Structure 1
Amino acid sequence: ISWSKPTDLVALLKHFNFVRTCHSFCSSTTFPAIPHSTNQDPFVHRSAKTLSCLLKQRPPISQLKQIHAQVVTQAFSSHASLTLSLIHCYLSAKTLTSARTLFDHYPSPSQPTRLWNLMIRAYSKLQNSQESINLFHQMLALDHLMMVVPDKYTFTFVITSCSHQISVVYGQMFHGMVIKNGFESNLFVGNSLITMYSVFARIEDAHKVFNQMSDRDVFSWTSLVRGYAKNEDMGRACEIFDTMPLRNDVSWAVMISGFVGCRRYIEALRYFKDMSCDDKVKPNEAVLVCALSACAHLGALDQGNWIHAYIDKNGITQSSNISTALIDMYAKCGKIDYASRVFNGISKPDVHNFTSMISGLSIHGLGKDALCVFHQMLAENAKPNEVTILGVLNGCSHSGLVEEGSSIFYRMESSWGVLPKIE
C-alpha cells in the first residue's frame, strides 16, 4: 500500500481504534423499537434505511454510538445521508468532537452548504471560540471544483460567533461581505448584525443596520432596545420601545433590567406595573427577579409582597433565581423572618440561596444565625464563593465572633479557593 501523506496512516489508525471501541457496543440490544421490525437481533445486518430511521428518532448518546458502530462495521460510511444524520444527532447530543470528525471525513468531494452551516452554528454557540470563523474561511478557500457558496444562514451564524470575539474587526469584515453578497436586508442576518454591534457598544452602527432592514421582527426591535439599555441610554431605549409594533416578555425584561442596571428603580417598577396590566404578555423569570431587585434597593416592601403574591397566585415555579431575589428583597426591607421562611421552603438550596440568606442575616446583626446557615451550607456540600465568605465574615464581625471569623478567614483560600481581598 502506498501512502500519499504520513497523516493518512495516523488517520487510518484512529479510524481502526474507533471501530474497535464501537464494536463493544454491538452486544447491546438497547435500540429503540422500529415499526414492522422482525425478531432478528437488532445488530445483525441492519439496512441503511433502518439505521436512517433510527437516527431520525434522535437517540441518546449511548444508542447513537451503537448506531454509528453499525454504520462503520457494515461499510455504510460512504453514505452521505447517513453521515449527515449522524452529525445532526451528535450535535443534538452536544458531542461536538464526534460531529467534527465525521464532518472532516464527509464521504463526498465537498460538504454541502447545509452541513457547513450546521458546524458553523454549533461553534458559534461557544464562548471565546474562533472555530466558526476558521471554518468559514476554510469554506471560502475551497477550489472552484468544490466551491461552496455561503448563504444567509452561514452569515447569520458566523456573525453570531463574532459577538464572542474580543474585537469588532471580524464582525465589520463579515458585514462588508454581507453587503457584497446582497444579504444586508435579510431579517436573520440583520438581527445578528444588530446584536454583534451592540455587544461592542457600536450602537449607531447597530441602528444603521436596523434602518436598512426591509423586514423587522420583535427580535430586531428588542435587540436595538437592548443595545441602548446596555449603553445606559435609557432615553433612546424608551423611544424605540414606545414605537415597537409588538412587544413580548423579553422586550419588557430588557427595559426593566435596563432601568435596574442604571439604578433607576422607580422607573423599573413603573414599567413592571405597565407590563402586569398588559394581557398579551406575562412576566418571565428575568422580569420578576429585576422587579424584586428594584424593591430591595428601594425598601419597597408592599410592592415586593405584591410580586410574591403574584408569583404564588399564578403558580410560577420559584426557581433558584426567584427564591434568591425574594430572600434578598425581604432581608433588605427589614423582614428577615419572611426571608427565612422563603429560605426554609427551598427543598435543596444552592450556593446563591445560601449566600443570600447568610448576607441577609449578617446585615441584621444575626451573626450566629448566619454562621449556622454557613455550616449547613458546608454540610450539604455547597461550595461557598467570594460573596458567601464576605457575608459570613461581616456577620461574625458585627456579632463579635472573632474566633469563628478568623477560622473562616484563614481557611477561605485552602478550603474553598477564595483569595483574600481588601473587602
Structure 2
Amino acid sequence: MPDRDTVAWNTMLGAYAQHGIVDGKKILFCLIANLNFVSWTTMLTAYAQNGYPSDTISATAMISAFAATGNDREACALFENMPERNVFSWTALLQGYAENRLLDKAKSYFDKMPAWNLVPWTVLVVSYAQSERLEIAQDLFVEMPERSIVTWNALLAAIGHAKSLEEAKLFLVTMPAWNLVTKNTISQIKEVKQSETTS
C-alpha cells in the first residue's frame, strides 16, 4: 500500500487487535506511523480484551508520547477521558504543554492539580525561565515548598540573561549548593555580558 493514511493504519491495528495480536513488531509497526486518538483507543481496548492492564500508567505513557510529538490536543483528550488520574498523569500533560511552549495552558492545568510534588513545580519554573518570562518564574520559585538544583540553575540563567551579571551573582550567593551546571551558567553569562559591552 504506497499511500498509507491514519484510517488505513487504524484499520490494520484493529485487525491485529481482533486476532489477539497485541504484542511484538507488528503492533509497533502500526504505531510508528500517524498516531491519533483512535489509534491509542484501539490499542488500549486490544490490551484490555486480551488480559493486559489498561490503566493509569498506560494512559500516562500515551499522554507523554502524544506530547513529545507535539500532539497536545490528543494528549489533552486522552487525559480528560481518563477515569482516574495521579500526579504522574497530571505532570505528563503539564510537561507536554510546557515543552511545546504552551505555558498558559500548562499553568492552567498546574493550578487545577489536586496535589503536587517537586517535578511539576520544576517543569513550570524551568519552562517560564527558559522562555524569558522571568517575573512569573520568580513568583513560582518563591511559592515552591521545596527546590531542586535544576530550578535554582534555571532561574540563575534567566536572571543573568534578562538582567545583569551583578544580579546573577547576588542570586548565586543565595543558592544552597552549586554544581557543574551552575559554574557553566555563570561563565556563559559572563561571556554574553562581555560581548554585549564590546559590541
TM normalised by structure 1 equals: 0.36
Post-superposition Cα deviations, 1:124-159, rounded to whole Å, max 9, x if no partner, equal xxxxxxxxxxxxx9xx8xxx9xx9975xxx9xxx98
Q: Does the alignment pair 1:285 with 2:145?
A: no
Residue 327 of structure 1: how far off its partner (Å): 2.7
Q: CA deviation at 1:319?
A: 2.4
1:169 aligns to 2:35 (yes or no): yes
Counterpart amino acid of 1:242? D
Identity %: 21
Task: Select the residue among 352, 363, 371 that pairs with 2:195.
Answer: 363
The separation in 1 between residues aligned to 2:122 and 2:165, in whole angstroms, is 21
Between the aligned partners of 1:168 and 1:259, the Cα distance in structure 2 is: 30
1:181 alignment counterpart: 47
How far the C-alpha of 1:212 sits from its partner, in A, is: 2.1
- What is aligned with 1:255? 124
Aligned-pair distance for 1:232?
Answer: 2.1
CA distance in 2, matches of 1:250, 1:300: 29
Deviations 1:91-134 (A, max 9, x none): xxxxxxxxxxxxxxxxxxxxxxxxxxxxxxxxxxxxxxxxxxxx
Residues in 1 aligned to 2:78 and 2:99: alpha-carbon distance in whole angstroms: 18
Code of the aligned partner of 1:234 = L
Match of 1:267 among 116, 136, 142: 136
The structure with the largest alpha-carbon Rg is 1
Contact 2:130 2:158 in 1 (8 A): no
Taking a change above 3 Å as real, the CA distance of residues 273 and 322 of structure 1, as seen in their structure-2 partners, is same
TM-fit CA distance, 1:286: 2.4
Selected match of 1:200 from 69, 73, 81: 69
Flag structure 2 segments of 5+ consecutive residues without an equivalent. Answer: 1-12
The letter of the residue matching 2:195 is I
Q: Distance in 2 between matches of 1:184 and 1:302?
A: 55
Cα deviation, residue 324, structure 1: 1.2
Rate the CA distance shift 1:248–1:175 in 2: closer, same or farther, 3 A. same
Measure how far apart 1:184 and its partner are.
Answer: 8.4
1:378 aligned residue: none
Which residue in the other structure is 1:125 paired with? Answer: none
Counterpart residue number, 1:322? 182
Amino acid of the residue matched to residue 324 of structure 1?
A: N
Counterpart CA distance in 2 for 1:269 and 1:188 is 32
Say whether the 8 Å CA contact 2:95–2:106 is kept in structure 1.
Answer: yes
C-alpha spacing 1:174/1:325, structure 2 compared with 1 (3 Å): same
TM-score (norm: length of structure 2): 0.71
